[in-house]
Structures are given as structure tokens and as C-alpha cells.
Amino acid sequence: MQKIEELFAVAGRGVVVTGGASGIGLGYAEALAANGARVTLLDLDPQRIETEVGRLRAAGFDVRGAVVDVTDHDALDARIDEAAAHHGLDIVFANAGIDPGPGYLGAWVGDTRPRIVEGSLENYADRRWDKVIDINLTGVFATLRAAARHMKPRRSGRMIVTTSAASLRCEPAIGVAYMAAKAGAAHLVRNVALEMAAFNITVNAIAPGMFVTNIGGGHLKDEALQAEFGKAIPAHRVGFPSDMYGLALFLASPASSYVTGQQIVIDGALSLGQAD
């Protein structure tokens, strides 16, 4: 019988996290690095990479970073290849994503919700749709494809995709492209999981609800806004990247070896409805 420390062991495993220098991606990196994994942060922001790699190394963790745009597939392939050459590639978090901009209704909370002209379907710009899909869906596809080239020949690996509770519900304050991208990513996970199952590679999704990140200009970092949003969440609070640690470790470790093709929602029960 395996001991708990063996069941959740990730020490020495090679990990890549896209969008890894802030928010939820950084939370994944912290969870894995703190438990002995060797982590590469891939991100578009060189300053954040430098800051977070320095902080995590100072804490004694084996972490490196590289700048990449997930829409540049050749560069993404190269950065993942470099990470694999440096410390192997056992686990990949396809996490990079962007703020979709407003939907057709504004104001997440409150009695008055103004209509947003540019967020309505008839006014939704091609360039906005394309950018969200390119990053939040096609970027996930490109990340999984690059990882598969390393994992499939070795017949081992863990692929974890950040989707969203928005893949399961409609939220008029969020632009339509975001929900389409996240729902598409969730079904992509199921399809890739089906293909990879025979190769001992699990593919799963984490679907966050309202989390404090840099998305939306980091508006949820405001404590007053956190409290206001918390009123609509059954758990009575918003989520923080540290709330991801346990789930990230579970899906990246041997503990989840028979779990694949699943999307796990982590949202304080927001997607279930209002409890009070």
C-alpha cells in the first residue's frame, strides 16, 4: 500500500506552466516546486518571469523561466523542447489565457446592469474574437501538441488545462468568445484524453470560478470588491491561487493515475447557484 507522500510525489518531475508568472499559473508552479518538482515558467511578461523565478529560487526551489507567446507556435515548441532537454517533461499546465473584455451586460454585481454596446453580438469585433480564441483555445491545443511529442514516446505524462466555470454557464458580463474558448478547451481535453489514455498520459482540466488574478486588470485584488463578489458565492469568498495547490498536486501526481478526461470545477459552489 502506498504511503501518502508516495501517492502525491512529484519530486524531480519536469514541469512546464504556460502563463506561469502570475495568478493561477504561478499557483500551479508554487505547488509543484514546493514539493520538489523542477519547474519552467513560460510567460509573455519578462519582468514577471524575472521577479517570480528569483523569488522561488531564493526559497530554494528548482525554477527557471522563458518568454514566449503561445500564439507563436514555433517559439512555443522551442521553449517546451528546451525545458524538456533541461529537466525532462513529465507534467504540463496549459494555462495561458487573456481577459475577454466585457460581455453585453456590465457590472458583475448590483441591481443595475448597463448594456455594453461593444459586447453585444452584432457589434462583437472579429479581431477581439480571434485574439481570445487564438490564445485561450488554440494556445492550449498548441501546448498539448508540443507536450505530446515528448510524452507519447515515453508513454508517460500529465496534461492539465485551465478552463473555467464559464465553460459550463453563461455569464453576460463576460465576452462571448471567452465562454466559447473555454467550452472548446474542455471538450479538447476529453478528446486528447481519449487518444492519450493508452499511453499512460492523463489529460484533465481545472475550471476556476472567481479567482484573484491579473485578469480584468486585476480588479479582484481590491478587497472591497472581493467582499462584494463574495456575497454571490455560496462559500462567501472569492478564490486565491493558493486554493489551487491541492488540486494541481493531485492531478500532477500518481494519486490521479486513473483520472482522465475530466473537468474539475473549483469555484466555492458558485456554479451550483446561490445558497442564501
In sequence order, the 6+-apart residues with CB closer than 8 A to the CB of 111 are none
- Determine the residue type at 37: A
pLDDT above 60: residue 274: yes
Domain ranges for the chain, please list them: 4-268
Q: May I ask the CATH class of domain 4-268? A: alpha beta
What is the pLDDT, as a whole number, of residue 107? 65
Q: Look at residue 108 in the predicted model and tell me its pLDDT.
A: 60
pTM exceeds 0.85 for this model? yes
Residues comprising the chain, all counted:
276
Per residue in 179-207, pLDDT (tens digit) is 999 999 999 999 999 999 999 999 999 99
Query: Which sequence positions are flagged as catalytic?
Result: 178
Instruction: Quote the pLDDT of residue 230.
Output: 80
Q: What is the pLDDT of residues 56-81, one digit of tens each?
A: 999 999 999 999 999 999 999 999 99
Reported as a single tens digit per residue, the pLDDT across 1-21 is 778 888 999 999 999 999 999
- Please compute, for residue 269, the number of CA atoms within 13 A of its CA located in the half-sphere on the CB side: 11
Q: What letter would DSSP give residue 267?
A: S
Dump pLDDT digits (tens) for 111-141: 567 888 888 999 999 999 999 999 999 999 9
